[in-house]
Amino acid sequence: MKVLVVDGNNLLARGTHVLPTAVDTHGRAIGGLYITLRMIRSFLGSEPHDAIVVALDWGVPSFRKEVCPEYKGKRDEGLTPEEEHIRKLYKEQVAYCHELFRPFGMVTARAKGWEGDDVVAALCTVKLSEHDCTIMSSDRDFTQLVDGKRVRLWDVGKDRWTAPDAHFCLKRCMDPKESDNLDGVPGIGPAKADKLVEGFMADKDLQEDARPEVERFIIWCTATAGAAPGSTIGKLCQKVLDSQQKVRANWRCTYMPGIVQDCAAALKFRRTVPDKQAARDALKELGLRPFSEDFGSLWPPFAGLKCPV
């Protein structure tokens, strides 16, 4: 089965920023829902799938806050009144998004105490391991799951497939994305992180070592800094060694394969099957008039969706 795994929070947030003023007849925000459904329908037009699972947040794992107390700590700080309002509208739509997704046959998945990113990872690597999975999101952290065969990532921000990168998480540990509010290695950005990983990959013996990649990388940095302390690569390695505890903490916070079993055990699903009349009613109730008026072309890719879990 070919399953589309949607990063629900990501698409709803993007959609709300695009259409923050759209509301239904009850005054509820619907801009995020409208854009999300439009993106999914557009993608299915060129990439048919047999099932859709929408992953959603249900908290943040306590270990992330323990290892990295600053994790996403400033996400709601320093916002303008307009940004606070948009974030409020986004959160409201997350709360009732199932009213739109379920009639269209889209299963929703959550895990108490876990983020939607973790749910996506648990679905693709554990619950849906026997199926081909397409992740739909603009979050490049999912690159670490991509193998180019069974698991693919469609970047909705750039409208293109994301190439596999087996060392993506290692680079993120040195240069975290801004929204995670994690401290990286001072003086090391994307280009220098790439250079370090390239040198690390050239050590074939370490690539065959069974220890976690982040530990093998620090071993390589220690050897390289000691052997060539005055060289450019040696100086970069020393920067990593000076921040090695932070690199290890970032790895634990961002390395998805390390948490998938625990998250998978906590997964809860709202299972459903496509219901044409219910879908029509949902569009009407939510005031999504453009879809209602063109329902004949909207519905076909959803009509045959199955429940994969």
CATH 3.30.420.40 fits 2-166+256-303, yes or no: no
Please give the residue that has the higher pLDDT: either 182 or 133: 133
**Residue 267 near residue 122 (C-beta atoms within 8 A):** yes
| Nearest-5° Cα angle at 136, 131 to 137 | 140
Among the four given CATH numbers 1.10.287, 1.20.80, 3.40.720, 1.10.150, the one describing domain 168-254: 1.10.150
158-208 confidence digits (pLDDT tens): 999 999 998 999 999 999 987 777 889 999 999 999 999 999 999 999 998
What pTM value is reported for the model? 0.93
pLDDT score recorded for residue 69: 76
Which pLDDT band, with edges at 50, 70 and 90, does 155 fall under? very high
Nearest partner of 5 among 114, 112, 156, judged by Cα:
156
Mean pLDDT for the stretch of residues 10-23: 96
2-166+256-303 and 168-254 share one CATH topology?
no
pLDDT-based confidence at residue 108 (cuts at 50, 70, 90): very high
Instruction: Give the domain ranges of the chain.
Output: 2-166+256-303, 168-254
Over residues 232-255, the pLDDT tens digits come to: 999 999 999 999 999 999 999 899
Question: What was the pLDDT predicted at 76?
Answer: 65
Dihedral sign computed on CA atoms, order 169, 164, 108, 180? positive
